[in-house]
Amino acid sequence: MPVTNRRIGRRASAAYCCLSLAAPAALSGQGLVQKAASAFRPIQTPVGIDFQYGLVVGSSPLFIGKVRHPDQSGRAVLRAAVSLNGQAVVDFLTPSRRVFRNGTVSLQGSLTQVRQQRFYGYQGHGDAFEASPAMTGIRQTRISVEPTLTIAPHASPLRVSAGPIVKYTTTRFSGFSNAASHYITGGYGQAGAQANASAEWRNDVLDPTYGLRVDVGGSAYAPVWDVQAPLAEVHAEARGTVRLPLPASPALVFRAGSRQVFGDLPIHEAAYLGGTGTLTGAPGFRYAGSSALYGGGELRVGIAQSTLLGRSFRLGVAGVADAGRVSYQGAVSEWLTSFGGGVWVKPLDAPQVFSAGIVRGPLGAKFYFRTDIGY
């Protein structure tokens, strides 16, 4: 499929899909840690906006200090984070306003800039790209505006949201090759609508012995602006945790998901595999196609509990295994797998879990780091 200068980019929204997990509670302990955190409190502006800042670690921004949702403070929140390799995320969210009994409306927007070291082409079309070391240093910027109507029935785990979405994506390459010459820098504007539904069950917020979150959704873009033909995507993901009735009470953390894109495929809307969110043993966004399927798990075993600077932590070891595959225009990849292990740390007074280790994936051994809310 020929790709014009208007079909450029990559899926940047994955770079900040974990914003809601970004509060590094481990930085807000007592003593020295507490003093350090107090020096980096959110900046309150006189126009009703709280400004939060931090660092991008892996694919997730970690914001300094405790992040509160706008609905908790009644003030809009503007958050910005950068990484050492030039990745930047800016996120804006307003408090929700009630429009009927169980319905609220809010406005969110984002500006994301990321760097991807290499694009290898779609499944079945990647050999030429793998032989093109000059095609590196891809920089992509995306701006999106998303007014959102959310319906959350009282005392129900279900949340449904929908609304229009406007996005503009640009990509710049630092190098080209003859094999990739038809991928030219340019912009891609799109406008449409999106809808999402999520449900979550867990018996404890800080340390669940069981938990499950299911997210399904999709978006559709009309053939206007730079979209030449109708474009749509659907996605689904389930992730959870369960404490096993065994010595040391190990926890099995699992996830499974898929994404399918319909229509004339721009690169930034492709279904990708790679990174801790989909395939731990591969670099981020390593495998691309019009559809992706993935699943995996992590077995966490606690071995010790410690207190540092007045803060209590649980420590342990973990084993990791996951698999996935992508397809494009009828070509389906083989199952790509990774396995390995590492260590994890969890503050007892926060839902976050930090883990790091070594996994062996399709391209060899790789170091990984992730943070999540327990599953």
> Is 158 a domain residue?
yes
* pLDDT tens-digit map of 3-52: 333 333 333 333 333 333 333 333 333 344 444 444 557 788 898 999 98
Q: Rounded to two decimals, what is the model's pTM?
A: 0.82
**CATH number, domain with residue 310:** 2.40.160.50
> Is 193 a domain residue?
yes
* Rounded CA separation 4/374 (Å): 42
Q: CA geometry: angle at 272 spanning 266 and 278, to 5°?
A: 160
> Is 169 a domain residue?
yes
* pLDDT tens-digit map of 342-358: 999 999 988 889 999 99
* pLDDT tens-digit map of 253-285: 999 999 999 998 888 898 999 988 899 999 888
Beta strand pairing status for 311-328 and 43-44? Answer: unpaired
Q: Which residue has the higher pLDDT, 187 or 24?
A: 187
> Is 2 a domain residue?
no
* Rounded CA separation 25/153 (Å): 29
pLDDT computed for residue 324 by the predictor: 96
> Is 100 a domain residue?
yes
Provide the domain limits for residue 145: 13-372
- Total count of domains within the chain: 1
> Is 8 a domain residue?
no
> Is 362 a domain residue?
yes
Instruction: Say if CB 371 and CB 353 are below 8 A apart.
Output: yes
> Is 265 a domain residue?
yes
* pLDDT tens-digit map of 200-210: 999 998 889 99
Exposure class string for 37-64: b at 16+ Cβ within 10 A, else e: beeeebeeeeeebbebbbbbbbbbbbbb
- How far CA 371 is from CA of 18, 59, 355, in Å, comes to 9, 10, 6
The SS3 assignment for 92 reads: strand
